[in-house]
């Protein structure tokens, strides 16, 4: 790198020296070309430095090492001694020679680096680290004999690949890929494994499998230390970022024994650190949130960031002193307020803040194995969000149906359309869906005289909003908007729950590993592709879990919550009561016609039987019904998703 920088400096000096010797109008392209070449060489040299540094880090591991004084003689240090092949590459033929097999024919152990002439300077650099001093040379005379022994113990033949990605494998084979020494494991693979391993194994089985992996590489001098470091790192990541006390506590004893025994003997620093982590997580009681010792890609963003109106990047709340006084009086029961008393934008902001708090609290574990459909499941935040959306839909219907005058009802409808439009501006699609579903419900849509009093401008805006949340083609319009959306955003969670249900119900938990030309002789392995699909859907939801830069107005949020609770506890919040109220306001005519015609989205939402907003909007009930019906027919469709 120093040599390339020197060339760049010299090329620059030559250009200026040449410029001084000639007139300013003379241009010599060759001088500029030399600088470009020298600069390009610098960039390449920098890239080489980064690559070589990564090689050293891979061999050392990421735990703390003992302090030491390092001295490097010379200006250039190369690390060309390691050139590891990609462990995830695939070949069409299997280990048994079957050309039709889809089993990986890559390295039959977790690690086989290509032989490349070693660099003396690289050896000097890596040997200067105490943690690598335990790594013997891989150029020993019996290296091939050791590799042959490893072939007998590997589980690489128990992997199934699809489109270059791991689609299935036994637990030992997946653990081998998780702890391969020749390349950093794929980030998506690691995230999926941490998130879903409890669906196909137990914490104790995983811990034992990792320990077995640590043990059976001891005969291979060339890969023992790197693999053992990876095993330590997997344990470390599990304890620091993915630990669940209520299910994983049973594995603590086994992990502690390993940390204070074999790991400390082989890698003292790693053993000490892992034992400390075990002590920390053992203090967490089951049923309580596990404090994350460090950030994790596999966890949702549960940041409790609360913005203030004093923050220069936060817009000021649109609320007057008289409105604040009215809210305080309403808390004491001294004043009656309605949605018409406040600005639609601020109403939308406060609804968004209330819902965002629940949305950002959703943990990935709540979205696994249709957990939200189970009465005793742990999907508390998903259920709370569903309940809030249903309550908001009921509140919209209640505020409309409690008024006797059709013109007053039309004014309330106009206000809710404005609030829905502001929710769209705030990327709050969940509240938008709740409001539109309520306005499209049969008990509201049948109010002909009310809709006649609604302005054409309001109807046109409502049509635009209906088009965005239309259920046609599996919410095609809404999905398109969410594809490249930026956070913060509150998506309609029902879309993701539907996709997760399809993956969970439509895919088997295991795959068949082909045998020697006989399918029946194959063994069943974990269908990891199913878990990868699940993790990707959860990741799509996770990217939106960012706090909104909005200032809360506690008084307004309290009033909103009180209105929701009032509707929830009232006798009106059921199918019959809402529809009877609608019939009392505007009795049936001999020939009933829709107040808004040629509206396909309305047809999609309307229900002639008069089913309630709660039945229509509670997507948990809908998905539960879907899952129940899908399971009856899943045999013919499994594996097709």
Tell whether 370 and 457 lie within a shared domain: yes
Query: Mean of the per-residue pLDDT values for the chain?
Result: 76
Query: Residue 469 and residue 479: Cα distance in Å, rounded?
Result: 9
Q: What angle do CA 528, 534, 536 make, to 5 degrees?
A: 105
- State yes or no: pLDDT of 614 exceeds 50: no
Provide the angle, in degrees to the nearest 10, between the axes of the packed helices 472-483 and 456-468.
Answer: 90
Residue pointed to by tokens 């042959």:
148
**Residues forming a β-bridge with 511:** 525
pLDDT in tens, 187-210: 999 999 999 999 999 999 999 999
What one-character-per-residue DSSP string does 461-477 give? HHHHHHHHT--HHHHHH
Tell whether 271 and 349 lie within a shared domain: no
Does the residue 330 lie in any domain? no
Q: How many CB atoms lie within 10 A of CB 371?
A: 18
Range of the domain at 548: 338-491+544-586
Tell whether 270 and 367 lie within a shared domain: no
pLDDT in tens, 26-53: 445 555 667 777 777 777 777 777 767 7
Tell whether 265 and 343 lie within a shared domain: no
pLDDT in tens, 78-134: 333 333 333 333 333 333 333 333 333 333 333 333 444 444 444 443 343 334 334
Which pair of tokens denotes residue 137?
């040379």
What pTM was computed for the model?
0.69
270-279: Cβ within 8 A, 24+ apart: 270/61, 270/63, 270/228, 270/229, 270/232, 273/63, 273/64, 273/236, 274/232, 274/235, 274/236, 274/239, 277/235, 277/236, 277/239, 277/240, 278/239, 278/252
| Total domains present in the chain | 3
Q: What pLDDT shows up at residue 38?
A: 75
**Residues forming a β-bridge with 162:** 165
Q: What pLDDT shows up at residue 125?
A: 37
Tell whether 582 and 444 lie within a shared domain: yes
- State yes or no: pLDDT of 397 exceeds 90: yes
C-alpha pair distances (Å), 237 with each of 51, 231, 280, 368:
24, 10, 14, 20
Does the residue 577 lie in any domain? yes
Does the residue 18 lie in any domain? yes
pLDDT in tens, 161-172: 998 899 999 999
User: What residues contact 599, with CB distance under 8 A and at least 6 apart?
Assistant: 463, 466
Does the residue 70 lie in any domain? no
Query: Residue 503 and residue 213: Cα distance in Å, rounded?
Result: 31
Q: What pLDDT shows up at residue 578?
A: 85
pLDDT: is 267 or 570 the higher one?
Answer: 267
Does the residue 436 lie in any domain? yes
pLDDT in tens, 372-384: 988 877 899 999 9
Which pair of tokens denotes residue 522?
């194959």
- State yes or no: pLDDT of 631 exceeds 60: no
Mean pLDDT in residue range 252-260: 95
Element (H, E) at 190: helix 187-196
The torsion angles phi and psi of 447, rounded to 5 degrees, stand at -80, 80
Tell whether 243 and 391 lie within a shared domain: no
Tell whether 249 and 373 lie within a shared domain: no
The CATH number assigned to the domain holding 359 equals 1.10.840.10
Query: Residue 270 and residue 233: Cα distance in Å, rounded?
Result: 9
Tell whether 390 and 251 lie within a shared domain: no
Q: What pLDDT shows up at residue 24?
A: 46
Query: Residue 413 and residue 162: Cα distance in Å, rounded?
Result: 52
Residue closest to 377 by CA, chosen among 386, 385, 368: 368
Does the residue 437 lie in any domain? yes
Strands (E), 448-572: 510-512, 524-526
- State yes or no: pLDDT of 294 exceeds 50: no
Q: What is the CA radius of gyration of the chain?
A: 32
Given 44, 59, 74, the domain boundary residue is 59
Furthest-apart CA pair in the chain: how many Å?
101
pLDDT: is 43 or 444 the higher one?
Answer: 444
CA 57 from centroid of its chain's CA atoms = 27
Tell whether 267 and 361 lie within a shared domain: no
**% of the chain beyond a pLDDT of 70:** 66
- State yes or no: pLDDT of 637 exceeds 70: no
Please give the order of strands across the beta sheet that includes 159-162.
Answer: 159-162, 165-169, 524-526, 510-512
Tell whether 277 and 386 lie within a shared domain: no
The CATH number assigned to the domain holding 252 equals 1.20.870.10
Does the residue 508 lie in any domain? no
Query: Residue 86 and residue 112: Cα distance in Å, rounded?
Result: 9
- State yes or no: pLDDT of 15 exceeds 60: yes
Tell whether 270 and 178 lie within a shared domain: yes
Tell whether 194 and 274 lie within a shared domain: yes
Does the residue 267 lie in any domain? yes
Residue closest to 623 by CA, chosen among 486, 471, 498, 439: 498
- Cα torsion 123, 125, 130, 132: sign: negative
Given 21, 43, 59, the domain boundary residue is 59
Instruction: Report the SS3 class of residue 12.
Output: helix
Q: What pLDDT shows up at residue 212?
A: 93
Residue 219 DSSP class: T
């Amino acid at each position: 790198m120093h040599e390339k920088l020197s060339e760049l400096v010299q090329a620059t000096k030559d250009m200026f020296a040449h410029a001084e010797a000639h007139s300013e109008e003379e241009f010599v392209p060759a001088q500029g070309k030399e600088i470009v070449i020298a600069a390009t060489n610098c960039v390449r040299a920098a890239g080489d430095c980064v690559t070589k540094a990564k090689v050293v880090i891979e061999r050392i591991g990421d735990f703390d090492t003992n302090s030491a004084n390092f001295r490097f003689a010379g200006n250039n240090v190369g690390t060309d001694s390691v050139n590891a092949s990609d462990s995830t590459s695939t070949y069409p033929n299997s280990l048994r020679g079957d050309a039709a097999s889809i089993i990986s024919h890559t390295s039959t152990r977790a690690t086989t680096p290509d032989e490349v002439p070693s660099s003396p300077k690289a050896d000097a650099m890596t040997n200067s680290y105490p943690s690598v001093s335990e790594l013997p040379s891989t150029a020993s005379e019996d290296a091939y004999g050791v590799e042959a022994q490893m072939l007998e113990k590997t589980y690489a033949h128990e992997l199934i690949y699809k489109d270059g990605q791991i689609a299935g494998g036994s637990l030992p084979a997946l653990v081998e890929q998780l702890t391969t020494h020749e390349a950093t494991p794929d980030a998506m693979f690691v995230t999926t494994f941490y998130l879903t391993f409890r669906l196909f194994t137990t914490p104790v089985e995983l811990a034992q499998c990792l320990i077995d992996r640590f043990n059976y590489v001891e005969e291979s001098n060339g890969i023992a230390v790197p693999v053992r470091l990876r095993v330590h790192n997997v344990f470390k990541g599990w304890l620091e970022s993915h630990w669940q006390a209520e299910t994983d506590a049973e594995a603590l004893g086994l992990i502690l024994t390993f940390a204070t025994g074999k790991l400390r003997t082989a890698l003292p620093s790693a053993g000490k650190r892992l034992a400390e982590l075990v002590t920390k997580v053992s203090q967490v009681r089951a049923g309580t949130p596990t404090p994350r010792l460090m950030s994790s890609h596999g966890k949702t963003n549960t940041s409790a960031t609360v913005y203030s109106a004093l923050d220069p990047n936060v817009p000021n709340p649109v609320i007057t002193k008289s409105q604040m006084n009215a809210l305080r009086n309403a808390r004491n029961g001294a004043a009656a307020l309605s949605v018409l008393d406040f600005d639609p934008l601020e109403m939308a902001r406060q609804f968004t803040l209330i819902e965002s708090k629940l949305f950002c609290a959703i943990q990935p574990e709540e979205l696994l194995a249709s957990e939200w459909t189970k009465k005793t499941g742990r999907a508390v935040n998903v259920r709370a969000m569903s309940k809030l959306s249903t309550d908001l839909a009921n509140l919209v219907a209640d505020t409309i149906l409690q008024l006797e005058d059709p013109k007053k009802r039309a004014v309330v409808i106009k206000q809710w359309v404005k609030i829905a439009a502001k929710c769209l501006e705030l990327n709050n699609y969940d509240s938008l869906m709740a409001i539109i579903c309520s306005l499209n419900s049969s008990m509201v849509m049948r109010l002909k005289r009310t809709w006649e009093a609604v302005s054409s401008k309001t109807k046109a805006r409502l049509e635009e909003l209906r088009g965005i949340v239309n259920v046609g083609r599996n919410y095609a319009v809404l999905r398109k908007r969410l594809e490249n959306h930026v956070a913060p955003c509150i998506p309609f969670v029902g879309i993701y729950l539907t996709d997760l249900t399809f993956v969970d119900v439509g895919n088997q938990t295991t795959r068949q590993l082909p045998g020697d030309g006989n399918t029946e002789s194959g063994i069943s392995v974990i269908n990891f592709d199913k878990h990868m699909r699940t993790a990707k859907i959860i990741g799509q939801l996770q990217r939106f879990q960012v706090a909104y830069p909005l200032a809360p107005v506690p008084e307004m949020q309290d009033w909103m919550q009180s209105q929701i609770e009032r509707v929830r506890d009232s006798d009106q919040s059921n199918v019959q009561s809402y529809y009877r109220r609608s019939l009392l306001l505007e009795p049936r005519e001999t020939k009933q016609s829709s107040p808004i015609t040629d509206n396909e989205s309305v047809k999609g939402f309307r229900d002639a039987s008069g089913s309630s907003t709660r039945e229509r909007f509670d997507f948990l009930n809908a998905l539960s019904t879907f899952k129940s019906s899908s399971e009856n027919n899943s045999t013919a469709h499994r594996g097709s998703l």
